[in-house]
Amino acid sequence: MGATGNAVTAAVNRFGLGAKPGDLAGAHDPRAWLETQLARGPDGAQFLAGLPTSIDYLRDEIQLFAIRREFKQGGRGRRDFLTGKMPGPPGDTKAAAAALKQALQPYRQEQRKDLLAEFSARIRIATGTATPFVERLVRFWSNHFAVSVDKFSARLFAAPMEREAIRPHVTGRFADMLLAVETHPAMLLYLDNVRSVGPDSRLGRRIAARLARDGDAGKGKAGGLNENLGREAMELHTVGVNGGYTQADVTEFSRALTGWSVAAKREFANGRQPDSAFVFRANAHEPGARRVLGKTFAEGGFEQGKAILDFLAHRPATARHLSLQLAQHFVSDDPPPALVDRMAKSYLDHDTDLAAVYRTLIESPEAWGSEARKFKTPQDFVTSALRAAQIDLQGRPQPVLGLLTTLGQPVFDPRSPAGFSDNSANWVDPDGLWKRVQAAEALSAHVASGGGEPLAFAQDILGPLLDEDTAQAIRRAESKRQAYATLFASPTFQWRV
């Protein structure tokens, strides 16, 4: 085995995001250090202030489509961004394409700037936060409710979902977080619920009538039930794949979720500004009672789906699924079942209160045992290096974003609603290790040239994890920069122990 830690390094590395100078000393009472953070909740407001809201982003998208539609002469005017498809430019003349491009240019630039600002804020919080345990939890839940920006329509919303739906509930009730996420535009767009129409809803009947009249000519074909969100909300977000649900449960739940949509053209018409990015569209909602996991939910519009979500949040299968994932994230790839059981009980006993589950976790001896260790994901690795050296990106996150992409964990881009893997087996491989050595070289170049004496720095960051061989290698480095590279590339630095 590699390095062996103690409770202080475990708190800072395994529960937190890695030490910044002084952290190890501050965490001399590890449990109290973690408890205090839970009481404080997430910080970082100063970095998030001024970022656009999801409503702002929706308005931008709608304006973008309006511009495209103006350039499109006739036909296919029904399309909007809810169908996930941009109308193309008119004709194929170069002049038309160039004019459209020019008209869109300011919006494109603005969106690029917004995305960089979002990512930049996220990285700066991780680098500087005084509540790294809470910040790790934010990222854990963000990945649990993964929205992948490789889906075009969702690309703007993954970062605001973390701010708007995850952060406010990270130490609150899971049931509240679940509702916030499933009503967030990011999830509704990513998992296609905005396109899901109840077949017997007013809209569904109208579409059916139009199809019957016009024939199946491929026009205006939007309509029909889409089970994407219903399935993933059960399989990934709540009860888990072995949670005892059937295809009938998925279909019923999906019917209940029809009508859950986002503010669109009409809500923004005439300069109006909606209060909520979420919109319940009663005309797309499938009427009738629904039966999910043996329980019947009366018709009630939005309240029906909300009640099912709350029911799912309180299932024992959900308690086990979430507790197992948390234990796998914070303790080991294969955590002790007794620990998971205790956390699940705490979850159910406290009305899905997450802080209670976290407390059970950190009060359990299994969380501090010598078997407890996790291999850093690329995001963990990069974040811990940025924290250690207090590297300030000065609002230019591109090099770090590129690094994360090359290391295999591009920000908000797991390419799957299941999120990035939390298992070492997916991250320990020769290619990944080699790139970490390269990344260590690159990161060491960013360490402030006035940085301290490397060995003292390594002691401050690794504490008792710094073994004699690693210390020796750092001592013998030919330059300060190479000493930092040695630290970041060392096997000890690759673990959360």
CB of 300 to other proteins, least distance (A): 27
* Site of interaction with other proteins (CB under 8 A): 1-2, 84, 88-92, 97, 151, 216-218, 227-228, 231-232, 241, 375, 398, 402-403, 405-410, 413-416, 418, 421, 424, 426, 428-435, 437-439, 441-442, 469-470, 473, 476-478, 482, 485-486, 489-492, 494
Please say whether the beta carbons of 287 and 276 come within 8 A: no
Nearest CB to other proteins, comparing residues 50 and 218: 218
Nearest CB to other proteins, comparing residues 247 and 449: 247
Three-state SS sequence of 40-58? HCCCCHHHHCCCCCHHHHH
Nearest CB to other proteins, comparing residues 275 and 431: 431
Phi, psi of 279 (to 5 degrees): -135, 130
For 180-215, letters b (16+ CB in 10 Å) and e give bbbbbbbbbbbbbbbbbbbeebebbeebeeeeeeee
CB of 196 to other proteins, least distance (A): 13
DSSP string, 233-267: IIIIISS-TTSS--HHHHHHHHHHHTTEEE--HHH
CB of 95 to other proteins, least distance (A): 13
Nearest CB to other proteins, comparing residues 36 and 406: 406
CB of 333 to other proteins, least distance (A): 11
Beta strand ranges found along 319-404 (DSSP E): 374-375
Nearest CB to other proteins, comparing residues 165 and 497: 497
Nearest CB to other proteins, comparing residues 187 and 355: 187
Distances (CA, A) of 356 to 41, 160, 342, 349, 492: 13, 26, 11, 9, 32
What's the rounded Cα separation, in Å, for the pair 157 and 468?
47
Nearest CB to other proteins, comparing residues 160 and 230: 230
Q: Hey, is 410 helix, strand or coil? A: coil
Q: Whose CA is closest to 480, among 438, 450, 436, 440?
A: 450
Nearest CB to other proteins, comparing residues 278 and 375: 375
What's the rounded Cα separation, in Å, for the pair 335 and 424?
13
CB of 242 to other proteins, least distance (A): 12
Q: Hey, is 495 helix, strand or coil? A: strand
What's the rounded Cα separation, in Å, for the pair 93 and 99?
10
CB of 452 to other proteins, least distance (A): 20
CB of 216 to other proteins, least distance (A): 6
List residues bridging with 444 in a β-sheet.
none
CB of 222 to other proteins, least distance (A): 12
Other C-beta atoms lying within 10 Å of the C-beta of residue 241:
10
Virtual CA dihedral for 309, 311, 314, 318, nearest 10 degrees? -60
Nearest CB to other proteins, comparing residues 402 and 452: 402
CB of 406 to other proteins, least distance (A): 6
